[in-house]
Amino acid sequence: METKPLVAVTGASSGIGEATARAFSAAGHPVLLMARRMDRMEALGLPNAVLRQVDVRDRDAIAAAVRDAEESFGPVDMMFANAGIARLADIGRQPPEEWDEMIDINTKGVMNTVHAVMNGMMARKRGTLVMMSSIAGRKVYPDHTVYCGTKYFVHAVSESLREYLSAYDVRVIVLSPGVIETEVLSGVLDEETLANYKNNKVKMGGGIGADIVGDLILNAYQLPQKALVQEICLTPTRQTY
């Protein structure tokens, strides 16, 4: 029986990261799960899984986790740079420390994650990078100012990487979800913004299940290496913004 290649996921302890880890594990892939909450990853009970407590702001920790997993299961064939945080608030009253956190995790963390696997993928002329952006990386919202900036960053970097890596047959997929049923709201500390978000979510009948997103990523990955889904933009049908 052919052994399937290793898949790595940051932010794997909940939400889309967890759902993606489950989808790839169910499809027979060994998985490297990275997140800050080790207990949540252990509770998943996935087979052929390497679990590492990693903060994506720590470049060396990501690289070490990748090395450990590759010793057991071979090269990472897909890296999902999923870890991120949403500190949404009116920019006029948002503490600058929240900007720092989003910029460090959502931009530098993404680059640290890519850096851990990109050269290996280029050398093998095979691999897939899945970059977590957002509908907020395609349009702006009044209470998402810095968050939107970090997600526009992901879009710009991904476009550049896609062009650069195409000559090496490495794929770059941008994931731009709208309202999904995840723990993203736990990062919103501004009460007025949080209330508005929840009200809008109710109006659209709730978010989409994270499992749907995980299955879409798996489907895009399973296409032949020469075929690339450049972006997955998924929203509830009733989401109009």
How confident is the model over 92-102, as pLDDT tens digits? 999 999 999 99
What is the C-alpha to C-alpha distance for residues 180 and 15, in angstroms, rounded to an integer?
8
| pLDDT average, residue stretch 52-61 | 98
C-alpha to C-alpha distance for 128 and 171, rounded to whole angstroms: 5
The sign of the torsion formed by the CA atoms of 24, 168, 175, 40 equals positive
Residue type, 222: Q
Give CA separation, 152 vs 64, 144, 148, 174, 207, in Å: 28, 12, 6, 11, 22
Look up residue 20 and give its DSSP letter: H
Whether residue 70 is predicted with pLDDT greater than 90 in this model: the reply is: yes
Percent of the chain clearing pLDDT 70 (strictly above): 98
Q: Is the pLDDT of residue 200 over 80?
A: no
pLDDT grade for 169, boundaries at 50, 70 and 90: very high
d(CA 221, CA 84): 21
Q: What is the pLDDT of residue 196?
A: 75
Alpha-carbon distance of 217 to 22, in angstroms, equals 12
pLDDT score of 45: 97
Please determine, for residue 189, whether its predicted confidence score (pLDDT) is greater than 90. no
Greater pLDDT, 130 or 141: 130
In sequence order, what are the residues at sequence separation of 6 or more whose Cβ sits closer than 8 angstroms to the Cβ of residue 87?
94, 98, 99, 101, 102, 146, 147, 187, 188, 189
Active site residue 147: yes
Residue 35 confidence (pLDDT): 97
Residue 185 has pLDDT above 90, yes or no: no
Question: CB within 8 A of 126, min separation 6: which ones?
Answer: 77, 169, 170, 225
Q: What is the pTM of this model?
A: 0.94
CA distance 92 to 143: 9
Across the chain, mean pLDDT equals 94
- Residue 1: its pLDDT value, please? 57
Nearest-angstrom CA–CA distance, 215 and 128: 16
Q: Catalytic: which of 147, 152, 197, 221? A: 147
The residue that leads in pLDDT, 186 or 236, is 236
What is the 3-state composition of the chain as percent helix, strand, coil, each rounded to the nearest 5? Answer: 50, 20, 35
Q: Calculate mean pLDDT across residues 57-66.
A: 98
Query: What domains lie within the chain, and their CATH numbers?
Result: 6-233 (3.40.50.720)
Where do the DSSP E strands lie in the chain? 6-10, 31-35, 49-53, 76-81, 127-132, 170-177, 180-181, 208-209, 231-234
- Residue 128 pLDDT > 90, yes or no? yes
